[in-house]
Chain A
Amino acid sequence: RKEVEQDPGPFNVPEGATVAFNCTYSNSASQSFFWYRQDCRKEPKLLMSVYSSGNEDGRFTAQLNRASQYISLLIRDSKLSDSATYLCVVTGFQKLVFGTGTRLLVSP
């Protein structure tokens, strides 16, 4: 089983749609969780950390389910500029473990 698993997509959605990504992780000892965004041929950038109580930042909501070992990212009112690859990141044994990413394409 991979340490971090994501649906690679692509998710094709129209502008204004709501889209959700899930990510599962295998290490029950993981303590920190993040969503990073990576644009084509660019470096990953932190989108948001994921807290146990769930957190929201504008149109983005992240949630953590420790019992089921998954985290989610919800994007409301999608914009063209949201098109990117979204990387799920989990702390492993003294390191960050990245998922392969989920590609999102938002069309007009």
Chain B
Amino acid sequence: ETGVTQTPRHLVMGMTNKKSLKCEQHLGHNAMYWYKQSAKKPLELMFVYNFKEQTENNSVPSRFSPECPNSSHLFLHLHTLQPEDSALYLCASSPRTSGSSYNEQFFGPGTRLTVL
């Protein structure tokens, strides 16, 4: 099993649709992350979960709703998105978050989202 998996790999949705992105990690990690990567921009951290508790919401619009039912699974629920939300959404995991000292993060392959 690969370390971090994401489904779907590609998603095209209309602005009125509701969809969910799924991430699963098989590494026994306790921290999981959602990032957004747009063209010509650095990775933007969206959410951090540590031991299933959300510890960071980086001013993300409410049309993005994360869910972390356990330390191995992370979801990103999407509704009423805008075309500018089109991007690569990457999930990552690490053993833990600990103050300002972070362990290596392992990334999934990402979901390439297009909002029409």
Instruction: Give A residues with C-beta under 8 Å from B.
Output: 4, 29-32, 34, 42-46, 49, 87, 91-101
Contacts and interface: CB of A to CB of B under 8 A. Distances in A.
A32 B41 contact: no
A95 B101 contact: no
Interface in B92-116: 97, 99-102, 104-110
Contact of A94 (B40, B41, B97, B107): B97
B55 interface: yes
Nearest to B94: A96
Interface residues of B, number: 22
A94 B105 contact: no
Interface of B: 40-43, 45, 48, 55-56, 58, 90, 97, 99-102, 104-110
14 contacts: A4-B42, A32-B101, A34-B104, A42-B109, A43-B110, A44-B43, A45-B107, A46-B106, A49-B104, A92-B100, A93-B100, A94-B99, A96-B105, A100-B42
Given A94-B97, A94-B99, A98-B43, A46 B109 contact: no
Contact of A43 (B55, B58, B99, B107): B107
Contacts of A98: 42-43
Most A CB contacts (10 A, CB to CB) among B42, B55, B106 go to B42
Contacts of B105: 46, 96
A46 to B, nearest CB: 5
A100 B40 contact: yes
